[in-house]
């Protein structure tokens, strides 16, 4: 899972993406990058590195990002290690000069790489899925260079890409001297939104993973990209749209549960409102369990809205019994298990005066591996809690995700092949409440979702064995997986 943003029609677009990337920092903290294009000088400018946005973009680096068209990216690696050659944006010199960024995962990576190498004589340099999206776009455009209608050529090229490259992805690209383009996979599993701002008799455009980017840049949220849609905005700010697929939308439910910022919305469903709804519904499930609760407390920060609404419904005090160190990054997206454990220890400090002698209902957005939950439960017991209950706004995660969230192995999941009673024993909690899948859809207000990690219904079929083998080959020369467990 990463954060992406693209901009056309703004003076100093590259520099303006620096503050925009702060709005997407929660989506990736491994690395950041910006690629800008200067139409006047016909020149690209690229700055990217490992680290947080504020660490990567010094004042000098920001000032080098000239031009009125730019791409920005925050990276969260799902392949265990992070190497500089994998950082985005990526760039190819032919045809036109193409720069691109993406969010998501390709599930038939080996198949596409084999096609590129043996059929098109193109070699990949990195282990990043984006590189094959970039090469496939280039192959399509190069094969149509005799046709002068670029929007049609681009649409035909991306249509071929969508038919060849399987998985869940949203991508933004720029073509030297031509314009900016954006597209989503056939099911629209990964988010991509469009913002616009009046510029004379036309609009300048912004594409981003989340809505709050538009607010920061002074843009108005316009609409979402549709599944299988390609947008091309040329250098004169003419807007071209091509719907290349008729598949039903299957947006990732985990965006509302955990990943997206509270300020954004997707498919007309505001994230904050959804989390309030989930808290209300979860309260009904807690009542049905008959748990005796003194205090309702969130696991900061994502579950705060749900916990607040749950406390209101139960008519119980809402308390912040865990104080978050805001200088420690999100432990879920730290991809080394030992480091993740240390981060949890440093991340949350108990408020003993609000814990001692009380029956605490802890509300979390989801329970994935269970390591963080187990540590927090022990923390509350050590601080003197009489009982600790745990309620999750997400149903049990029993299946791996192959679409860009970092749990591609079922064995790493605490609920894998286990009952809810089994999970409660593992976590050593006095009571455990999961939101049922049917009620999750009720809270989201959407029936058609990607909930494959909950029910095993994968929108894009993929073999777990082949997918993991691809990742092992790409990650380590000894064939050992470095995916965190």
- Residues acting as catalytic residues: 2
* Cβ pair 71, 89 in contact under 8 A: yes
Helices 437-444 and 271-289, axial angle in degrees (round to 10): 140
Give Cα 100 to chain centroid, integer Å. Answer: 17
Collapsing DSSP to helix, strand or coil, 95 comes out as coil
- End-to-end, the C-alpha distance of the chain in Å comes to 17
- Cβ-contact 344, 371 below 8 angstroms: yes
Q: Is 306 helix (H, G, I), strand (E, B) or coil?
A: helix
Cis peptide before 430 (omega within 30 of 0): no
Q: Please answer whether residues 206 and 6 qualify as being in contact, where contact means their C-beta atoms are separated by less than 8 angstroms.
A: yes
- For residues 320-343, one letter each, b for 16 or more C-beta atoms within 10 angstroms of the residue's C-beta and e for the rest, the string is ebbeeeeeeebbbbbbeeeebeeb
Backbone angles phi, psi at 357, to 5 degrees: 80, 10
Report whether 89 contacts 44 (CB < 8 A).
no
Task: Determine the Cα–Cα distance for residues 435 and 199; give it in Å rounded to an integer.
Answer: 46
The torsion angle over the Cα atoms of residues 433, 437, 438 and 441, rounded to 10 degrees, is 110
Tokens found for residue 321: 């019994």
Report yes or no: 52 and 25 within 8 Å, Cβ to Cβ.
yes
> What are the distances in angstroms from CA 317 to CA 169, 297, 299, 321?
42, 9, 15, 11
Whole-number Cα distances in Å, 456 to 73, 382, 452: 30, 37, 4
d(CA 26, CA 260): 8
Max CA pair span of the chain? 77
Count of CB atoms situated within 10 Å of the CB of 194: 24
Strand positions, DSSP E, 136-267? 167-175, 179-184, 193-199, 202-208, 220-224, 229-234, 239-243, 265-266
Q: Which residues contact 212 (CB under 8 A, 6 or more apart)?
A: 23, 261, 263, 264
């Amino acid at each position: 899972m990463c954060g992406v943003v693209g901009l056309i029609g703004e003076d100093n677009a590259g520099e303006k993406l620096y503050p925009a990337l702060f709005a997407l920092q929660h989506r990736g903290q491994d690395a950041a990058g910006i690629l800008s294009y200067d139409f006047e000088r016909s020149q690209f400018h690229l700055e990217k590195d490992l680290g947080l946005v504020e660490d990567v973009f010094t004042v000098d680096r920001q000032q080098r990002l000239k031009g009125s068209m730019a791409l920005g990216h925050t990276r969260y690696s799902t392949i265990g290690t992070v190497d500089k050659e994998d950082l985005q944006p990526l760039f190819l010199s032919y045809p036109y000069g193409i720069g691109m960024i993406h969010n998501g995962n390709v599930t038939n990576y080996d198949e596409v790489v084999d096609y590129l190498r043996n059929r098109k004589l193109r070699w990949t340099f990195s282990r990043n899925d984006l590189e094959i999206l970039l090469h496939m776009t280039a192959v399509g455009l190069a094969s149509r260079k005799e046709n002068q209608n670029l929007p049609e050529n681009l649409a035909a090229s991306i249509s071929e890409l969508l038919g060849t490259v399987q998985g869940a992805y949203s991508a933004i690209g720029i073509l030297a001297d031509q314009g900016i383009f954006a597209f989503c996979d056939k099911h629209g599993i990964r988010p991509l939104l469009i913002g616009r701002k009046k510029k004379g008799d036309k609009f300048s455009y912004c594409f981003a993973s989340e809505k709050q980017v538009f607010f920061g840049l002074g843009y108005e949220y316009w609409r979402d990209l549709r599944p299988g849609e390609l947008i091309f905005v040329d250098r004169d700010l003419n807007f071209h749209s091509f719907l290349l697929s008729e598949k039903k939308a299957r947006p990732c439910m985990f965006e509302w549960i955990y990943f997206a910022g509270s300020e954004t919305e997707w498919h007309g469903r505001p994230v904050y409102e959804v989390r309030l709804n989930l808290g209300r519904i979860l309260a009904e499930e807690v009542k049905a369990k008959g748990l005796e609760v003194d205090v309702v407390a969130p696991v900061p920060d994502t579950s705060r809205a749900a916990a607040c609404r749950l406390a209101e419904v139960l008519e119980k005090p809402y308390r912040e019994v865990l104080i978050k160190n805001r200088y420690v990054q999100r432990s879920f997206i730290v991809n080394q298990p030992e480091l993740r454990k240390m981060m949890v220890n440093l991340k949350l400090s108990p408020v003993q005066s609000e814990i001692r002698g009380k029956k605490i209902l802890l509300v979390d957005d989801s329970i994935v591996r269970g390591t963080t939950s187990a540590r927090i439960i022990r923390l509350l017991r050590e601080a003197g809690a009489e009982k600790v209950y745990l309620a999750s706004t997400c149903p049990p995660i029993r299946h791996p995700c192959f679409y860009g969230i970092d749990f591609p192995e079922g064995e790493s999941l605490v609920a894998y092949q286990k009952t809810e009673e089994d999970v409660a024993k593992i976590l050593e909690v006095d009571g455990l409440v999961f939101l049922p899948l049917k009620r999750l859809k009720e809270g989201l207000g959407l029936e058609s979702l990607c909930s494959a990690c909950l029910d095993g219904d994968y929108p894009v079929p993929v073999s777990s064995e082949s997918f993991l083998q691809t990742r092992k080959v790409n990650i380590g020369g000894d064939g050992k997986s470095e995916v965190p467990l």
